[in-house]
Structure 1
Amino acid sequence: MKHMIRQLLQETPYNVHMIVKDLRTDETFICERPDAVFSSASLIKVPILLAVLHHVQSNQGSLHQVLTITPEDWVDFSGISEQQLVSTTIYELLVWMIITSDNTATNVLINYIGMDALNRYFREIGLTHTILQRKMMDFERLANGVDNVTTTRDMAHIFTHIYRQDLLMPSFSALAIDILSRQRVHDLLRRYLVDDVRIAHKTGGLDAVDHDVGIVYGDSKDYLIGVFVTEVTNNQDARQLIGRISKVVYEYLVQQKGALT
Protein backbone atom coordinates (compact mmCIF):
# COMPACT_ATOMS: atom_id res chain seq x y z
CA MET A 1 0.00 0.00 0.00
CA LYS A 2 2.65 2.51 1.05
CA HIS A 3 4.73 1.81 -2.04
CA MET A 4 1.76 2.29 -4.40
CA ILE A 5 0.75 5.53 -2.70
CA ARG A 6 4.30 6.87 -2.78
CA GLN A 7 4.34 6.18 -6.51
CA LEU A 8 1.06 8.09 -6.97
CA LEU A 9 2.45 11.00 -4.98
CA GLN A 10 5.66 11.08 -7.00
CA GLU A 11 3.73 11.13 -10.27
CA THR A 12 1.41 14.02 -9.40
CA PRO A 13 2.45 17.64 -10.00
CA TYR A 14 0.38 18.76 -7.02
CA ASN A 15 1.11 18.97 -3.30
CA VAL A 16 -0.65 16.20 -1.43
CA HIS A 17 -1.25 16.23 2.32
CA MET A 18 -2.74 13.01 3.67
CA ILE A 19 -3.44 10.77 6.64
CA VAL A 20 -4.45 7.11 6.93
CA LYS A 21 -5.07 5.75 10.43
CA ASP A 22 -6.67 2.66 11.95
CA LEU A 23 -9.30 4.11 14.26
CA ARG A 24 -9.68 0.94 16.31
CA THR A 25 -5.98 0.62 17.18
CA ASP A 26 -4.91 4.25 16.62
CA GLU A 27 -2.08 3.05 14.36
CA THR A 28 -1.05 5.59 11.71
CA PHE A 29 -0.08 4.02 8.39
CA ILE A 30 0.61 7.14 6.33
CA CYS A 31 1.02 10.78 7.29
CA GLU A 32 2.19 13.33 4.72
CA ARG A 33 2.70 17.05 5.48
CA PRO A 34 0.74 16.86 8.77
CA ASP A 35 1.33 20.45 9.90
CA ALA A 36 1.42 22.36 6.62
CA VAL A 37 -1.39 24.91 6.63
CA PHE A 38 -3.65 24.96 3.58
CA SER A 39 -6.96 26.43 2.43
CA SER A 40 -9.71 24.40 4.07
CA ALA A 41 -12.40 25.15 1.47
CA SER A 42 -15.57 23.44 2.74
CA LEU A 43 -13.76 21.24 5.27
CA ILE A 44 -14.29 24.15 7.68
CA LYS A 45 -17.94 23.09 7.80
CA VAL A 46 -17.08 20.03 9.90
CA PRO A 47 -15.91 21.94 13.00
CA ILE A 48 -18.80 24.36 12.41
CA LEU A 49 -21.17 21.37 12.59
CA LEU A 50 -19.70 20.33 15.94
CA ALA A 51 -19.66 23.89 17.25
CA VAL A 52 -23.34 24.43 16.50
CA LEU A 53 -24.29 21.12 18.11
CA HIS A 54 -22.17 22.04 21.14
CA HIS A 55 -23.84 25.46 21.36
CA VAL A 56 -27.33 23.94 21.26
CA GLN A 57 -26.31 21.32 23.82
CA SER A 58 -24.70 23.82 26.19
CA ASN A 59 -27.67 26.16 26.07
CA GLN A 60 -30.23 23.35 26.32
CA GLY A 61 -31.65 24.58 23.05
CA SER A 62 -33.45 22.76 20.27
CA LEU A 63 -32.34 21.73 16.80
CA HIS A 64 -35.88 22.58 15.76
CA GLN A 65 -35.33 26.26 16.53
CA VAL A 66 -36.13 28.29 13.42
CA LEU A 67 -33.57 30.78 12.15
CA THR A 68 -34.37 33.68 9.84
CA ILE A 69 -32.76 33.82 6.39
CA THR A 70 -32.75 37.11 4.51
CA PRO A 71 -32.43 37.45 0.73
CA GLU A 72 -29.04 39.05 1.43
CA ASP A 73 -27.96 35.70 2.92
CA TRP A 74 -28.63 33.80 -0.31
CA VAL A 75 -25.42 32.86 -2.13
CA ASP A 76 -24.51 30.51 -4.95
CA PHE A 77 -24.16 26.72 -4.59
CA SER A 78 -27.10 26.55 -2.23
CA GLY A 79 -30.36 24.64 -2.19
CA ILE A 80 -31.53 27.14 0.42
CA SER A 81 -31.08 29.93 -2.14
CA GLU A 82 -32.67 27.89 -4.92
CA GLN A 83 -35.78 27.49 -2.78
CA GLN A 84 -35.60 31.13 -1.66
CA LEU A 85 -36.19 30.05 1.91
CA VAL A 86 -36.57 32.85 4.43
CA SER A 87 -36.46 30.59 7.48
CA THR A 88 -35.69 27.01 8.47
CA THR A 89 -34.53 24.96 11.44
CA ILE A 90 -31.01 24.63 12.77
CA TYR A 91 -31.24 20.91 12.01
CA GLU A 92 -32.04 21.49 8.33
CA LEU A 93 -29.26 24.05 8.02
CA LEU A 94 -26.76 21.58 9.49
CA VAL A 95 -27.86 18.81 7.14
CA TRP A 96 -27.64 20.93 4.00
CA MET A 97 -24.33 22.47 5.10
CA ILE A 98 -22.74 19.00 5.16
CA ILE A 99 -24.49 16.76 2.63
CA THR A 100 -24.53 19.26 -0.25
CA SER A 101 -22.01 21.74 1.21
CA ASP A 102 -24.70 24.44 1.16
CA ASN A 103 -23.05 27.86 1.44
CA THR A 104 -26.13 29.82 2.47
CA ALA A 105 -26.80 27.36 5.29
CA THR A 106 -23.20 27.72 6.43
CA ASN A 107 -23.29 31.50 6.46
CA VAL A 108 -26.56 31.58 8.41
CA LEU A 109 -25.03 29.27 11.01
CA ILE A 110 -21.89 31.44 11.17
CA ASN A 111 -24.16 34.40 11.91
CA TYR A 112 -26.00 32.36 14.54
CA ILE A 113 -22.88 31.39 16.52
CA GLY A 114 -20.50 34.21 15.59
CA MET A 115 -17.09 33.89 13.98
CA ASP A 116 -15.18 34.61 17.20
CA ALA A 117 -17.16 32.02 19.16
CA LEU A 118 -16.60 29.44 16.44
CA ASN A 119 -12.84 29.97 16.44
CA ARG A 120 -12.83 29.84 20.23
CA TYR A 121 -14.58 26.46 20.13
CA PHE A 122 -12.12 25.20 17.52
CA ARG A 123 -9.26 25.99 19.91
CA GLU A 124 -11.09 24.43 22.87
CA ILE A 125 -11.35 21.08 21.12
CA GLY A 126 -7.69 21.09 20.16
CA LEU A 127 -7.64 22.43 16.59
CA THR A 128 -4.40 24.40 16.57
CA HIS A 129 -4.35 25.70 12.99
CA THR A 130 -8.01 25.61 11.89
CA ILE A 131 -9.30 29.17 11.58
CA LEU A 132 -12.51 30.60 10.16
CA GLN A 133 -11.71 34.04 8.68
CA ARG A 134 -14.33 34.57 6.00
CA LYS A 135 -17.85 33.49 5.11
CA MET A 136 -18.56 31.22 2.20
CA MET A 137 -18.45 32.91 -1.21
CA ASP A 138 -16.72 35.99 0.20
CA PHE A 139 -14.31 36.25 -2.70
CA GLU A 140 -13.37 39.83 -1.86
CA ARG A 141 -11.71 38.74 1.39
CA LEU A 142 -10.22 35.74 -0.40
CA ALA A 143 -8.69 38.02 -3.04
CA ASN A 144 -7.14 40.01 -0.19
CA GLY A 145 -5.47 36.87 1.14
CA VAL A 146 -7.97 36.16 3.92
CA ASP A 147 -8.99 32.52 3.85
CA ASN A 148 -10.20 29.68 6.04
CA VAL A 149 -7.36 27.30 6.82
CA THR A 150 -6.62 23.94 8.41
CA THR A 151 -4.04 21.14 8.49
CA THR A 152 -3.96 17.38 8.03
CA ARG A 153 -3.29 16.95 11.75
CA ASP A 154 -6.31 19.06 12.69
CA MET A 155 -8.61 17.13 10.36
CA ALA A 156 -7.30 13.83 11.72
CA HIS A 157 -7.85 15.14 15.24
CA ILE A 158 -11.44 16.18 14.69
CA PHE A 159 -12.50 13.02 12.85
CA THR A 160 -10.83 10.84 15.47
CA HIS A 161 -12.98 12.53 18.12
CA ILE A 162 -16.06 12.25 15.93
CA TYR A 163 -15.37 8.50 15.69
CA ARG A 164 -14.86 8.20 19.45
CA GLN A 165 -18.02 10.26 20.06
CA ASP A 166 -16.42 12.05 23.00
CA LEU A 167 -17.02 15.72 22.19
CA LEU A 168 -20.81 15.87 22.46
CA MET A 169 -23.59 14.08 24.29
CA PRO A 170 -24.37 10.67 22.75
CA SER A 171 -27.38 11.72 20.68
CA PHE A 172 -25.55 14.68 19.12
CA SER A 173 -22.40 12.60 18.53
CA ALA A 174 -24.48 10.02 16.70
CA LEU A 175 -26.24 12.77 14.74
CA ALA A 176 -22.93 14.24 13.57
CA ILE A 177 -21.86 10.84 12.21
CA ASP A 178 -25.27 10.29 10.65
CA ILE A 179 -25.17 13.62 8.81
CA LEU A 180 -21.60 13.08 7.60
CA SER A 181 -22.61 9.60 6.39
CA ARG A 182 -25.35 11.14 4.22
CA GLN A 183 -22.82 13.06 2.14
CA ARG A 184 -24.02 13.43 -1.46
CA VAL A 185 -20.68 14.33 -3.04
CA HIS A 186 -19.19 11.00 -4.08
CA ASP A 187 -16.58 11.77 -6.73
CA LEU A 188 -13.48 11.71 -4.49
CA LEU A 189 -12.91 9.10 -1.74
CA ARG A 190 -15.81 6.97 -2.99
CA ARG A 191 -15.03 7.50 -6.67
CA TYR A 192 -13.57 4.06 -7.49
CA LEU A 193 -15.02 1.94 -4.67
CA VAL A 194 -17.43 -0.73 -5.92
CA ASP A 195 -18.55 -1.89 -2.47
CA ASP A 196 -21.47 -0.20 -0.72
CA VAL A 197 -19.25 1.04 2.09
CA ARG A 198 -20.30 3.51 4.76
CA ILE A 199 -18.16 6.67 4.82
CA ALA A 200 -18.78 9.59 7.17
CA HIS A 201 -16.92 12.34 5.37
CA LYS A 202 -16.73 15.87 4.03
CA THR A 203 -15.33 17.19 0.79
CA GLY A 204 -13.94 20.61 0.00
CA GLY A 205 -12.91 22.25 -3.22
CA LEU A 206 -11.86 25.53 -4.79
CA ASP A 207 -10.06 26.24 -8.04
CA ALA A 208 -6.67 25.36 -6.55
CA VAL A 209 -7.60 22.72 -3.94
CA ASP A 210 -9.53 19.46 -3.68
CA HIS A 211 -10.05 17.64 -0.38
CA ASP A 212 -11.93 14.70 1.10
CA VAL A 213 -11.61 13.37 4.64
CA GLY A 214 -13.62 10.99 6.75
CA ILE A 215 -14.22 7.69 8.46
CA VAL A 216 -14.54 4.46 6.47
CA TYR A 217 -16.47 1.79 8.36
CA GLY A 218 -15.46 -1.80 7.57
CA ASP A 219 -16.37 -5.17 9.02
CA SER A 220 -12.90 -5.77 10.44
CA LYS A 221 -11.37 -2.29 10.41
CA ASP A 222 -12.57 1.29 10.69
CA TYR A 223 -10.08 3.77 9.34
CA LEU A 224 -9.57 7.47 8.91
CA ILE A 225 -8.50 8.73 5.51
CA GLY A 226 -7.88 12.29 4.49
CA VAL A 227 -6.42 13.37 1.17
CA PHE A 228 -5.88 17.10 0.66
CA VAL A 229 -4.55 18.29 -2.69
CA THR A 230 -3.22 21.82 -3.11
CA GLU A 231 -1.70 23.88 -5.93
CA VAL A 232 -4.22 22.22 -8.24
CA THR A 233 -4.42 23.31 -11.87
CA ASN A 234 -6.93 20.67 -12.98
CA ASN A 235 -9.66 19.77 -10.49
CA GLN A 236 -10.70 16.66 -12.37
CA ASP A 237 -7.17 15.27 -12.19
CA ALA A 238 -6.99 16.03 -8.47
CA ARG A 239 -10.30 14.28 -7.76
CA GLN A 240 -9.19 11.24 -9.72
CA LEU A 241 -5.98 11.16 -7.69
CA ILE A 242 -7.96 11.19 -4.45
CA GLY A 243 -10.10 8.37 -5.81
CA ARG A 244 -7.07 6.29 -6.74
CA ILE A 245 -5.44 6.76 -3.35
CA SER A 246 -8.70 5.87 -1.61
CA LYS A 247 -9.07 2.68 -3.64
CA VAL A 248 -5.52 1.57 -2.83
CA VAL A 249 -6.10 2.13 0.88
CA TYR A 250 -9.49 0.41 0.86
CA GLU A 251 -8.20 -2.65 -0.95
CA TYR A 252 -5.37 -3.14 1.53
CA LEU A 253 -7.15 -2.28 4.77
CA VAL A 254 -10.64 -3.68 4.10
CA GLN A 255 -10.29 -6.20 1.29
CA GLN A 256 -6.80 -7.08 2.59
CA LYS A 257 -5.14 -7.36 -0.79
CA GLY A 258 -1.35 -7.43 -0.55
CA ALA A 259 0.97 -6.04 2.11
CA LEU A 260 1.32 -2.65 3.79
CA THR A 261 4.89 -2.03 2.67
Structure 2
Amino acid sequence: MECAIQRMLEEAPYNVHLFIKDPNTNHYFIQEKLHAVFSSASLIKVPILLGVLRYLERYHQDVHQEIRIAPEEWVDYSVISEQRIERSTIYELLVWMIITSDNAATNVLIDFIGMEFLNHYFRQIGLRQTKLQRKMMDFEKLERGIDNLTSANDMAHLFSRIYQQDLLPKQFSKLTIDILSRQRVHESLKRYLVDDVKMAHKTGGLETVEHDVGIVYNGSNDYLIGVFITEVTNNEYAKQLIGRISKSAYEHLVKRKG
Protein backbone atom coordinates (compact mmCIF):
# COMPACT_ATOMS: atom_id res chain seq x y z
CA MET A 1 0.00 0.00 0.00
CA GLU A 2 2.69 2.49 1.00
CA CYS A 3 4.63 2.00 -2.25
CA ALA A 4 1.54 2.31 -4.42
CA ILE A 5 0.37 5.47 -2.68
CA GLN A 6 3.84 7.00 -2.71
CA ARG A 7 3.92 6.53 -6.49
CA MET A 8 0.60 8.34 -6.76
CA LEU A 9 1.96 11.21 -4.66
CA GLU A 10 5.11 11.47 -6.78
CA GLU A 11 3.04 11.64 -9.95
CA ALA A 12 0.43 14.04 -8.53
CA PRO A 13 0.51 17.54 -10.04
CA TYR A 14 -0.82 19.00 -6.79
CA ASN A 15 0.18 19.24 -3.14
CA VAL A 16 -1.18 16.22 -1.23
CA HIS A 17 -1.52 15.94 2.56
CA LEU A 18 -2.81 12.64 3.90
CA PHE A 19 -3.02 10.10 6.67
CA ILE A 20 -4.23 6.53 7.00
CA LYS A 21 -4.45 5.50 10.63
CA ASP A 22 -5.52 2.70 12.95
CA PRO A 23 -8.01 4.35 15.36
CA ASN A 24 -7.49 1.69 18.01
CA THR A 25 -3.69 1.87 18.26
CA ASN A 26 -3.13 5.37 16.80
CA HIS A 27 -0.56 3.81 14.44
CA TYR A 28 -0.16 5.64 11.13
CA PHE A 29 0.03 3.29 8.16
CA ILE A 30 1.05 6.28 6.09
CA GLN A 31 1.30 10.02 6.65
CA GLU A 32 2.27 12.94 4.44
CA LYS A 33 2.57 16.64 5.33
CA LEU A 34 0.65 16.14 8.57
CA HIS A 35 1.35 19.55 10.10
CA ALA A 36 1.08 21.87 7.10
CA VAL A 37 -1.86 24.30 7.40
CA PHE A 38 -4.31 24.66 4.51
CA SER A 39 -7.77 26.00 3.68
CA SER A 40 -10.30 23.76 5.37
CA ALA A 41 -13.16 24.46 2.94
CA SER A 42 -16.18 22.55 4.28
CA LEU A 43 -14.14 20.28 6.58
CA ILE A 44 -14.61 23.06 9.16
CA LYS A 45 -18.22 21.89 9.44
CA VAL A 46 -17.18 18.76 11.36
CA PRO A 47 -15.72 20.59 14.39
CA ILE A 48 -18.64 23.03 14.11
CA LEU A 49 -21.01 20.04 14.46
CA LEU A 50 -19.22 18.98 17.63
CA GLY A 51 -19.05 22.54 18.92
CA VAL A 52 -22.80 23.04 18.55
CA LEU A 53 -23.52 19.80 20.41
CA ARG A 54 -21.09 20.80 23.16
CA TYR A 55 -22.87 24.17 23.43
CA LEU A 56 -26.26 22.44 23.78
CA GLU A 57 -24.85 20.14 26.45
CA ARG A 58 -23.23 22.98 28.39
CA TYR A 59 -26.32 25.20 28.41
CA HIS A 60 -28.86 22.36 28.74
CA GLN A 61 -30.58 23.15 25.45
CA ASP A 62 -32.60 20.84 23.24
CA VAL A 63 -31.24 19.74 19.86
CA HIS A 64 -34.83 19.79 18.58
CA GLN A 65 -35.48 23.42 19.52
CA GLU A 66 -36.38 25.69 16.62
CA ILE A 67 -34.37 28.76 15.68
CA ARG A 68 -35.14 31.51 13.19
CA ILE A 69 -33.48 31.77 9.79
CA ALA A 70 -33.51 35.29 8.39
CA PRO A 71 -34.03 35.42 4.59
CA GLU A 72 -30.72 37.27 4.27
CA GLU A 73 -29.03 34.07 5.50
CA TRP A 74 -30.20 32.19 2.40
CA VAL A 75 -27.27 31.51 0.08
CA ASP A 76 -26.73 29.58 -3.15
CA TYR A 77 -26.34 25.78 -3.15
CA SER A 78 -28.46 25.31 -0.01
CA VAL A 79 -31.52 23.12 0.54
CA ILE A 80 -32.54 25.55 3.29
CA SER A 81 -32.53 28.38 0.77
CA GLU A 82 -34.21 26.29 -1.93
CA GLN A 83 -37.15 25.70 0.42
CA ARG A 84 -37.11 29.30 1.67
CA ILE A 85 -37.20 27.97 5.24
CA GLU A 86 -37.46 30.63 7.97
CA ARG A 87 -37.52 28.31 11.00
CA SER A 88 -35.72 25.03 11.57
CA THR A 89 -34.65 22.77 14.41
CA ILE A 90 -30.98 22.69 15.33
CA TYR A 91 -31.02 18.97 14.56
CA GLU A 92 -32.17 19.59 10.99
CA LEU A 93 -29.55 22.30 10.49
CA LEU A 94 -26.79 19.99 11.75
CA VAL A 95 -27.88 17.22 9.40
CA TRP A 96 -28.05 19.47 6.33
CA MET A 97 -24.73 21.11 7.24
CA ILE A 98 -22.99 17.72 7.01
CA ILE A 99 -24.85 15.50 4.55
CA THR A 100 -25.26 18.11 1.79
CA SER A 101 -22.66 20.57 3.14
CA ASP A 102 -25.38 23.21 3.40
CA ASN A 103 -23.84 26.68 3.75
CA ALA A 104 -26.98 28.48 4.93
CA ALA A 105 -27.46 25.95 7.74
CA THR A 106 -23.80 26.36 8.71
CA ASN A 107 -24.00 30.16 8.86
CA VAL A 108 -27.15 30.08 11.00
CA LEU A 109 -25.42 27.73 13.46
CA ILE A 110 -22.28 29.90 13.56
CA ASP A 111 -24.44 32.91 14.44
CA PHE A 112 -26.37 30.87 17.00
CA ILE A 113 -23.34 30.07 19.17
CA GLY A 114 -20.66 32.45 17.88
CA MET A 115 -17.21 32.11 16.36
CA GLU A 116 -15.52 32.83 19.69
CA PHE A 117 -17.17 29.85 21.39
CA LEU A 118 -16.34 27.59 18.46
CA ASN A 119 -12.67 28.57 18.22
CA HIS A 120 -12.28 28.19 21.98
CA TYR A 121 -13.84 24.72 21.75
CA PHE A 122 -11.52 23.74 18.90
CA ARG A 123 -8.50 24.60 21.05
CA GLN A 124 -10.03 22.88 24.07
CA ILE A 125 -10.32 19.53 22.25
CA GLY A 126 -6.76 19.68 20.92
CA LEU A 127 -7.12 21.21 17.47
CA ARG A 128 -4.00 23.35 17.18
CA GLN A 129 -4.27 24.56 13.60
CA THR A 130 -8.03 24.63 13.01
CA LYS A 131 -9.54 28.10 12.99
CA LEU A 132 -12.92 29.51 11.96
CA GLN A 133 -12.39 33.03 10.58
CA ARG A 134 -15.23 33.57 8.12
CA LYS A 135 -18.75 32.37 7.43
CA MET A 136 -19.54 30.22 4.42
CA MET A 137 -19.80 31.99 1.06
CA ASP A 138 -18.04 35.09 2.42
CA PHE A 139 -15.91 35.59 -0.67
CA GLU A 140 -15.08 39.16 0.29
CA LYS A 141 -13.08 37.94 3.30
CA LEU A 142 -11.63 35.09 1.24
CA GLU A 143 -10.29 37.57 -1.34
CA ARG A 144 -8.62 39.44 1.54
CA GLY A 145 -6.86 36.23 2.59
CA ILE A 146 -9.13 35.56 5.59
CA ASP A 147 -10.00 31.87 5.45
CA ASN A 148 -10.92 28.88 7.60
CA LEU A 149 -7.91 26.68 8.29
CA THR A 150 -6.96 23.19 9.40
CA SER A 151 -4.30 20.50 8.95
CA ALA A 152 -4.13 16.77 8.32
CA ASN A 153 -2.88 16.33 11.89
CA ASP A 154 -5.90 18.13 13.34
CA MET A 155 -8.30 16.08 11.22
CA ALA A 156 -6.57 12.85 12.28
CA HIS A 157 -6.91 13.90 15.93
CA LEU A 158 -10.53 14.97 15.49
CA PHE A 159 -11.70 11.79 13.76
CA SER A 160 -9.77 9.63 16.24
CA ARG A 161 -11.77 11.21 19.04
CA ILE A 162 -15.03 10.95 17.11
CA TYR A 163 -14.28 7.24 16.66
CA GLN A 164 -13.45 6.80 20.37
CA GLN A 165 -16.61 8.76 21.29
CA ASP A 166 -14.85 10.57 24.13
CA LEU A 167 -15.67 14.20 23.32
CA LEU A 168 -19.39 14.37 24.07
CA PRO A 169 -22.07 12.52 26.04
CA LYS A 170 -22.93 9.12 24.58
CA GLN A 171 -26.10 10.24 22.77
CA PHE A 172 -24.32 13.17 21.07
CA SER A 173 -21.28 11.03 20.19
CA LYS A 174 -23.55 8.51 18.47
CA LEU A 175 -25.50 11.31 16.78
CA THR A 176 -22.24 12.72 15.37
CA ILE A 177 -21.30 9.39 13.80
CA ASP A 178 -24.85 8.83 12.58
CA ILE A 179 -24.92 12.18 10.76
CA LEU A 180 -21.45 11.72 9.24
CA SER A 181 -22.51 8.23 8.08
CA ARG A 182 -25.45 9.72 6.17
CA GLN A 183 -23.17 11.78 3.93
CA ARG A 184 -24.63 12.20 0.44
CA VAL A 185 -21.47 13.45 -1.31
CA HIS A 186 -19.46 10.43 -2.45
CA GLU A 187 -17.24 11.67 -5.27
CA SER A 188 -13.88 11.09 -3.59
CA LEU A 189 -13.13 8.51 -0.86
CA LYS A 190 -15.99 6.23 -1.98
CA ARG A 191 -15.50 6.90 -5.68
CA TYR A 192 -13.92 3.55 -6.67
CA LEU A 193 -15.14 1.28 -3.84
CA VAL A 194 -17.51 -1.37 -5.20
CA ASP A 195 -18.42 -2.77 -1.78
CA ASP A 196 -21.22 -1.26 0.31
CA VAL A 197 -18.82 0.41 2.74
CA LYS A 198 -19.99 2.20 5.87
CA MET A 199 -18.07 5.45 6.03
CA ALA A 200 -18.58 8.40 8.39
CA HIS A 201 -16.95 11.21 6.48
CA LYS A 202 -16.99 14.80 5.25
CA THR A 203 -15.81 16.37 2.03
CA GLY A 204 -14.60 19.89 1.38
CA GLY A 205 -13.79 21.75 -1.79
CA LEU A 206 -13.03 25.16 -3.21
CA GLU A 207 -11.52 26.12 -6.56
CA THR A 208 -8.00 25.30 -5.38
CA VAL A 209 -8.59 22.56 -2.77
CA GLU A 210 -10.31 19.17 -2.63
CA HIS A 211 -10.61 17.16 0.62
CA ASP A 212 -12.29 14.07 2.05
CA VAL A 213 -11.75 12.60 5.52
CA GLY A 214 -13.50 10.01 7.62
CA ILE A 215 -13.84 6.66 9.35
CA VAL A 216 -14.12 3.42 7.38
CA TYR A 217 -16.03 0.81 9.39
CA ASN A 218 -15.31 -2.81 8.64
CA GLY A 219 -15.56 -4.79 11.85
CA SER A 220 -12.11 -5.38 13.32
CA ASN A 221 -10.39 -3.60 10.41
CA ASP A 222 -11.75 -0.08 10.96
CA TYR A 223 -9.42 2.68 9.84
CA LEU A 224 -9.26 6.44 9.46
CA ILE A 225 -8.35 8.09 6.17
CA GLY A 226 -7.96 11.70 5.14
CA VAL A 227 -6.72 13.03 1.81
CA PHE A 228 -6.36 16.79 1.40
CA ILE A 229 -5.26 18.27 -1.91
CA THR A 230 -4.17 21.88 -2.34
CA GLU A 231 -2.95 24.01 -5.25
CA VAL A 232 -5.62 22.31 -7.37
CA THR A 233 -6.30 23.45 -10.94
CA ASN A 234 -8.63 20.57 -11.90
CA ASN A 235 -11.06 19.57 -9.15
CA GLU A 236 -12.30 16.50 -10.99
CA TYR A 237 -8.78 15.11 -11.31
CA ALA A 238 -8.18 15.81 -7.60
CA LYS A 239 -11.32 13.83 -6.65
CA GLN A 240 -10.12 10.96 -8.83
CA LEU A 241 -6.75 11.00 -7.06
CA ILE A 242 -8.46 10.84 -3.66
CA GLY A 243 -10.51 7.92 -4.98
CA ARG A 244 -7.43 6.02 -6.15
CA ILE A 245 -5.64 6.52 -2.83
CA SER A 246 -8.76 5.40 -0.95
CA LYS A 247 -9.14 2.27 -3.10
CA SER A 248 -5.50 1.32 -2.54
CA ALA A 249 -5.94 1.67 1.24
CA TYR A 250 -9.20 -0.31 1.25
CA GLU A 251 -7.82 -3.18 -0.80
CA HIS A 252 -4.78 -3.46 1.48
CA LEU A 253 -6.43 -2.99 4.88
CA VAL A 254 -9.76 -4.74 4.27
CA LYS A 255 -9.71 -6.98 1.20
CA ARG A 256 -6.37 -8.66 1.98
CA LYS A 257 -7.38 -9.24 5.61
CA GLY A 258 -10.88 -10.42 4.79
Which range, TM-score by smaller chain? Answer: over 0.9
Offset at residue 88 of structure 1 (A): 0.3
C-alpha distance in 2 between matches for 1:46 and 1:219: 24
What is the aligned partner in structure 1 of residue 170 from structure 2? 170
Offset at residue 23 of structure 1 (A): 1.2
- The 3-state SS of whatever aligns with 2:219 is coil
Residue pairs, 1:130-169, within 5 angstroms: 130-169=130-169
Identity over aligned pairs, percent: 65
What is the aligned partner in structure 1 of residue 205 from structure 2? 205
Offset at residue 256 of structure 1 (A): 1.4
> Retained in 2: the 8 A contact 1:44–1:132?
yes
Q: Which amino acid aligns with 1:93?
A: L
Offset at residue 21 of structure 1 (A): 0.4
> Retained in 2: the 8 A contact 1:24–1:221?
no
Residue 40 of structure 2 corresponds to residue 40 of structure 1 = yes
Offset at residue 70 of structure 1 (A): 0.7
What is the aligned partner in structure 2 of residue 111 from structure 1? 111
What is the aligned partner in structure 1 of residue 222 from structure 2? 222
- The 3-state SS of whatever aligns with 2:255 is coil
Offset at residue 74 of structure 1 (A): 0.4
Q: Which amino acid aligns with 1:14?
A: Y
Offset at residue 220 of structure 1 (A): 2.7
What is the aligned partner in structure 2 of residue 78 from structure 1? 78
C-alpha distance in 2 between matches for 1:180 and 1:102: 13
Q: Which amino acid aligns with 1:146?
A: I
C-alpha distance in 2 between matches for 1:220 and 1:51: 29
What is the aligned partner in structure 2 of residue 27 from structure 1? 27
C-alpha distance in 1 between matches for 2:184 and 2:133: 26
- The 3-state SS of whatever aligns with 2:44 is helix
RMSD: 0.7
- The 3-state SS of whatever aligns with 1:210 is strand
Offset at residue 77 of structure 1 (A): 1.3
Residue pairs, 1:59-70, within 5 angstroms: 59-70=59-70
TM-score normalised over the length of structure 1: 0.98
Offset at residue 60 of structure 1 (A): 1.2
C-alpha distance in 1 between matches for 2:70 and 2:77: 16
C-alpha distance in 2 between matches for 1:137 and 1:60: 31
- The 3-state SS of whatever aligns with 1:254 is helix
What is the aligned partner in structure 1 of residue 57 from structure 2? 57
Q: Which runs of 4+ in 1 moved over 4 A?
A: none
Q: Which amino acid aligns with 1:151?
A: S
Q: Which amino acid aligns with 1:200?
A: A
TM-score normalised over the length of structure 2: 0.99
C-alpha distance in 2 between matches for 1:115 and 1:138: 14
- The 3-state SS of whatever aligns with 1:220 is helix
C-alpha distance in 1 between matches for 2:245 and 2:25: 21
Offset at residue 10 of structure 1 (A): 0.6
Alignment length (residue pairs): 257
> Retained in 2: the 8 A contact 1:220–1:254?
no
Q: Which amino acid aligns with 1:24?
A: N
C-alpha distance in 2 between matches for 1:78 and 1:198: 25
Q: Which amino acid aligns with 2:13?
A: P
- Deviation track 1:106-160 (CA, whole Å, cap 9, x = no partner) reads 0000000101111000000000010000000000000000000000000000000
Q: Which amino acid aligns with 1:180?
A: L
- The 3-state SS of whatever aligns with 1:130 is coil
